Structures are given as structure tokens and as C-alpha cells.
Structure 1
């Protein structure tokens, strides 16, 4: 486990690090990021992070001003003394919202939910395809359409809506609204999240090429749009292709 913490209160950061080490003794925990500048500098590097614990009110402003500029490579558990920011939190890959002061029991509930969603303690080979979503029901003009997951070439998130692009190049509006939750239900041997807004099916790839030094341009079957990998995900994308 590689874990990052955004927290500007030293005592709160120390307590959280104690909880993390109690739950994951072998976790690699990066030094707490205490400002918006620290957050932007940290994620400008190619660093593997599995989980982010994130305070909201920092000394130089709200953390959302930094997160809006980033393509986070991981889900977020927010930790805060304020309960009015939960809507914003879940728009920035939030999967849990811990109100300070929180107990180890409440912390454990949050990380248990994380493990249930992302299965990070297990390898891909521990699961058969039956553990993952096999089909999607799409409501359309009073009727229901069944779309098999194997026929979905990409999922795209935009303006609070998730679209499924099928192998015919058509897009369907889904009832799901959280791309991270949907990602956790997909077979990771077949689907990969290439940037903040796009998940692709490995069978959809025609070719890819260098876009910048740290990103790739992806060409998918039946789609005009070229998808660009984020620099925080490019290295893992290359590894995924070779699995």
C-alpha cells in the first residue's frame, strides 16, 4: 500500500498515521502534504498512490482548488471538521467522509469500504470474471436495454453523467454517476482508467503513440475522439498492456 496524506495539523496527521500503521503495518506512507502548493508539486511527479487521505481546509485555502487541477490516480477518503463539503468531496473521487475527531473504529469502517470497492489487498488472479459486472441495464424511452460489458469499448464521465460507448460507436447514458465506483466493478484485466474521465476496454485499442513525453494518444475502434492518458497513469497503462 502506498498512501498519501493531505493534512496541515500536525497532531491530526500523527493520529491518522498511527491509525494507518495499525491497520496496514507495512504501508508506505508519504510525509503529510500541508498546503495546496505541496499537493500540486507532489502529484506533478510520477508517484504510485493507492489511497489518499485528504483534509479539506488547509492553511492556504480549500484543497478542492488543487484537486480540480489534478487527475488523481487513486480514490480519496476525506477527513475534515466540517460536514458541509461532502458533495464536493464525492465529486473529487471521494469514497468516504470522516468527520473529526473520528475513532479507529470509524477509520476501520472507511478503509473496509475502500477494500470492498477496490480489492487492493488481492491480486487480479484471485478473481474470476464472475466477480465483476457482466452487463448494464439501460433505460430508454420506457423500455430497458441490456448492454453486455464485453461490448463496451469505453466509459466516459462528463458533467456528472457517465456514458458507455459500445462496439458500434454508440453512446448510452448510464444511471451510475460515480466513475470510481463503476471502475471497481469492472474486470481490471480488461478495463483500465486512462485518465480522470475515461475507462477503456483493452479490446478497443487500435494503436497508441506518444503524445507528450509522459502521455500517450490512444485510438479506439469505431471512435473519432483520441483519448490521452494522464501522466500519472501512463506508466501503469504500459504495464497493464503487457500483463
Structure 2
């Protein structure tokens, strides 16, 4: 029986993992489900009695690599995330597969079968792991990703089209996603999962500054220090003021080239 730890802060994603695991394996036990970085840190300080970890990366209180960099892990990890920039971090943290949300059962099954193969080996096949990571990165660089240039928005009168270039920022609030345009008008987006919005946007133009807000580079007017690790972001001639999360500030500065 395989003992499995799930690290995921979104209930639908946890249910999907559970369903896929049950389809792929007849004998397993989910020993724990973790939703925060702080809980993960506590758990790994007490036990690593797992055969496999399924791990998201960005949780509600930070990034899991804050924990993984400080512990010696004794089991492999299959990462399941909406972020495509952590391949190397994943490999360094015992990652054997990288599932990019939304992933299919076929993709999950390939990752699971790799775990089974490695579990049967006397030693991990690191050449295979390195090749997998390198190929995944190469494929991502070579794919010509088409990002949205407009969104179809439903209204009481019908459907209208919101141009992406006119969107100042996106905000998620109690399960509803809003886009704010340059006139500060609010538009209700058809997407229900915030990470889906991020995947549809050009990462050179848009940046997710915290768990529920994405900003458009061209509408950033100025930044001010809110506290030691958080920035106030002034958008659209100061009509909107948002704040970075602590774990996003450094990456945000790098994205801006400052």
C-alpha cells in the first residue's frame, strides 16, 4: 500500500488528485492533506513516513520551496501546479514529474507510472529525471503559446468583448473574478478559477502580485514601500492601489527589472 501526502490548498484540485489516484492505484492511503506552508513545515519536522508527495507550489501563505530548501526529503514529489517557472526548483526538491494545471488523466498516469518504475529501482534513475525536466523546459520554450487578446463578457443585454490591452488589473473576490479597465469600470469574468486567467495572459505584460490580483505592466504608475517586504502598486493614474504579497515582492521587482 502506498502512503501519499497531498499538499494543495484548493478543494477541487484535491478531489481531482484523489480521483486520479484511485483510478491509477488499487492500494493506497492518503495519510494527510496539507493546505499551508506553515502546516507543511510542522509536518515534515515530525515525520516523512510517505511513499509519495503530490505538491502544489503556491499555497495561501507562501511558496512550498521555502520549506523544501531547508529539509532533506526521503521520498519523491510529483508537482501539480498552475505555474510553469519552477522546473529547476522541482528537480532540486526530489521532483520526478511536473503536472501543469489543468492536466489530464493521461498526463497524471505518465507521472504515476514514473513513480512506480522508480519505486521498483534500487536507486533513483537521475539521468531519466534530468532528461525529463530538460525536455519539458525545451518543449515549453519551443511551443508558440497564443495568449488572449480579448475576453467575451456576458451581460444582461448580450455579449461584449473586453480588449486585454485595456485591462488594468484582475481581482478575485469570494469566488468571482473581476477585470478593471482603464476607465475603472468593473467587468465580471466568465472564468471561475483565478489560475485559469493567469494562463491566458502574456507573462511579459501581466504579473500575479498576490493570490488574488494580477496587474498589467503598462498601467503601473509608481511603487511605494508599504513595509519591509510588501509594495504598494499604484495603477492607472492612482485610481487603483494594490499590494504585493511578501513572497511575490522579490519576483515582482525582478519582473520589472528593478
- TM-score scaled by length of structure 2: 0.52
Unaligned runs of 5+ in 2: 7-33, 44-52, 66-78, 82-99, 115-135
Is the 2:177–2:191 Cα contact (8 Å) retained in structure 1?
yes
The equivalent residue for 1:200 is 215
Q: Could you give the per-residue CA deviations for residues 38-69 of structure 1, whole angstroms, max 9, x where no partner exists?
A: 53679xxxxxxxxx9339xxxxxxxxxxx55x
The answer to whether residue 167 in structure 2 is matched with residue 176 in structure 1 is: no
Is the 2:179–2:187 Cα contact (8 Å) retained in structure 1?
yes
Q: Equivalent residues in 2 for 1:120-135 (5 A)?
A: 121=137, 131-135=146-150
Unaligned runs of 5+ in 1: 1-5, 9-32, 43-51, 56-66, 79-92, 109-119
Is the 1:73–1:233 Cα contact (8 Å) retained in structure 2?
no
- TM-score scaled by length of structure 1: 0.54
Could you list the structure 1 runs, at least 4 aligned residues long, displaced by more than 6 angstroms after superposition. none
Is the 2:221–2:237 Cα contact (8 Å) retained in structure 1?
no
RMSD: 4.0
Task: Report which of the two structures shows the higher radius of gyration computed on alpha carbons.
Answer: 2
Secondary structure at 1:156 match in 2:
strand
Aligned length: 163
Going from structure 1 to structure 2, the CA distance change for 1:41 and 1:140 (only over 3 Å counts) comes to same
Structure richer in helix, relative to its length? 2
In 2: Cα distance, 1:205 partner to 1:73 partner? 29
Going from structure 1 to structure 2, the CA distance change for 1:200 and 1:123 (only over 3 Å counts) comes to farther
Secondary structure at 1:168 match in 2:
coil
Is the 2:191–2:197 Cα contact (8 Å) retained in structure 1?
yes
The equivalent residue for 1:7 is 5
* Higher RCO (CA 8 Å, separation ≥ 6 residues): 1
In 1: Cα distance, 2:256 partner to 2:165 partner? 17
Is the 2:205–2:216 Cα contact (8 Å) retained in structure 1?
yes
